[in-house]
Amino acid sequence: MEYIALEEAFDIPELAARRSAPPGAGMRFRRSFLTEVLPRLTDFTQYRLPDMDAHHVAVQVVSLTVPGIQDPGLSSQQAVDEARFANDYLAEANAGRIHTDTNPPAGALVFYGGANGNGHVAISIGNGQEIGTYGNLGQAYPIRQYPVTGYLSNPYLGWAEPNGS
């Protein structure tokens, strides 16, 4: 028998970075629970799909985790903009263009969020490594090699194959 899972929470690192409070703020959880669950909120490929297969879940209906667009720190227009961003992000992820695991293949474009719409893009060279510049907009920096996670302070968004590949 296969199942349909309703109201499965997800999160987008770029939206989480803008929030006035992290998911579950004010709620009490064991640290081990948060360590296991929080990385799964932003994932669609590394954890979620294998977990669905293991538990015979054919379809998940996902919902943006709390506080989502009900964050009291958002204006009405910001809430509309964030809902639109979340819907567009899900459409891309569902079309298989955004991968949220942290092991992009060589040649993939790797995306990071940032404040005020600024972000970062690097090129994967495989084995958890990428090349890119490291610095601020408008400044010239040499190209460096660094790990996909744990080096940049920008929130990791995922990777995609370049168009035409």
- Entry pTM: 0.57
When pLDDT is cut at 50, 70 and 90, the band that residue 12 belongs to is confident
- In the chain, the number of structural domains is 2
Q: Establish if 66 belongs to a structural domain.
A: yes
User: What pLDDT does residue 125 have?
Assistant: 95
When pLDDT is cut at 50, 70 and 90, the band that residue 105 belongs to is very high
- pLDDT tens for residues 133-144? 876 666 777 888
When pLDDT is cut at 50, 70 and 90, the band that residue 15 belongs to is confident
Residues 7 and 45 in one domain: yes
State the distance between the two ends of the chain, measured CA to CA, in whole angstroms. 37
Residues 8 and 75 in one domain: yes
Residues 83 and 155 in one domain: no
Q: Establish if 140 belongs to a structural domain.
A: yes
Q: Establish if 53 belongs to a structural domain.
A: yes
Residues 11 and 47 in one domain: yes
pLDDT over 80 (residue 45): no
Residues 113 and 156 in one domain: yes
Residues 9 and 88 in one domain: yes
Q: 46 has which bridge partners?
A: none
Q: Establish if 165 belongs to a structural domain.
A: no
Structure-token pair, residue 112: 């990071």
User: What pLDDT does residue 153 have?
Assistant: 81
When pLDDT is cut at 50, 70 and 90, the band that residue 23 belongs to is low
Domain residues for 148? 109-160
Rounded CA separation 5/17 (Å): 27
